[in-house]
Amino acid sequence: MSDTIMPITAERKRFIATLMGFSAVLMWALLALFTAASGDVPPFQLSAICFAIGAAIGFVATAGKRGRREKHPPVPWQAYLLGIGGLFGYHFLYFTALRHAPAVEASLICYLWPMLIVTGSALMPGEKLGWHHLVGVACGFAGTALIVTGGEGFSLKAEYAYGYGVAIAAAFTWSAYSLLSRRFASVPTDIVAWYCLATAILSAVAHLALETTVWPQGWTEWLAVAGLGALPVGAAFYVWDHGVKHGDIQVLGASSYAAPLISTVILIAVGMSQATWAIAIACLLITGGAAIAAKDLLFARRKRDAAV
């Protein structure tokens, strides 16, 4: 009996961890709305404030259970280096890319990271890359390209080569952080609070060196900043950490392309964007691609439910 129950339990945990990781994608879909509502706060200043909020949320959430928490071995310094490098490194490179290249091209290049996660997972122990993963992520990227460009296409220009290069580095940074986090699966997700705190400090340093301070104006902008820090630049990184460590990382990579789609739908719903044919096609591409990429996970649950 135990031989039958254990695989099901492990599979269920993997499924739940994948769902938790995907909740980060849903939260990241709120980035555009909250950022637009936060006013003219410079990127690094906004990052410093939001990551400070995200760190505070983590410390508060774990404070009550410190006395009854299981003993864990010391966190290796490599985990700190990976986490801080991933969070701060990606955002630093992304903002730098936007400074040196048009937003459309830079954003689209940065969105190579889900594809890099899926293809890079083939190098990880215990993971197999199937045709459905590649088809799913290709559909997702095509849909994202339609959303970012509005269906009007884009062209790469030599004078923005530096910005494009930095955007590529950002994509590799986030995909590497997500993939390598799996090597530290035993490190508790609580550690993300320290990643956020370090990222907030480094973002503040970058702000003081590169930007002019502009504070949010009025309670609406402050609420937007608080929303950013609580969800897409806060809780999202905790559930993503758990998802990439214990869930189906290939499904998470492919389904991450849902973030720009959901973000666009939200902007349309609040009147900040308009529905177009490009968005409709992108919807079909991204949702279809995510379903194809998740074929193994979905069919495994169906077989398990049928057996039960």
C-beta neighbour count of 2 within 10 angstroms: 6
**Where does residue 130 rank: exposed (0-12), middle (13-18), buried (19+ CB within 10 A)?**
middle
Q: In terms of C-beta density within 10 A (0-12 exposed, 13-18 middle, 19 or more buried), how is residue 223 classed?
A: middle
The number of angstroms, rounded, from the C-alpha of 180 to the middle of its chain's C-alpha atoms is: 14
Three-class SS of residue 287? helix
Kindly list the averaged pLDDT for each block of 10 residues, start to end, along the chain of length 308.
53 93 97 96 98 96 68 88 98 96 93 94 85 93 93 85 96 97 95 98 98 97 98 97 96 94 94 91 94 77 49
- How many structural domains compose the chain? 1
Structural domain range at position 71: 2-307
Q: What pLDDT sits at residue 3?
A: 47
Instruction: Please list the helix, strand and coil fractions of the chain in percent, rounded to the nearest 5, in that order.
Output: 80, 0, 20
Fill in the amino acid letter for 122: A
pLDDT for 253: 94
Q: Distance between CA atoms of 299 and 100, rounded to whole angstroms?
A: 45
Nearest of 121, 254, 111, 257 to residue 182 by alpha carbon: 121
Integer Cα distance of 253 and 244 in angstroms = 9
Question: Which whole-number Å values give the CA distances from 157 to 93, 105, 154, 165, in the listed order?
Answer: 19, 10, 10, 12
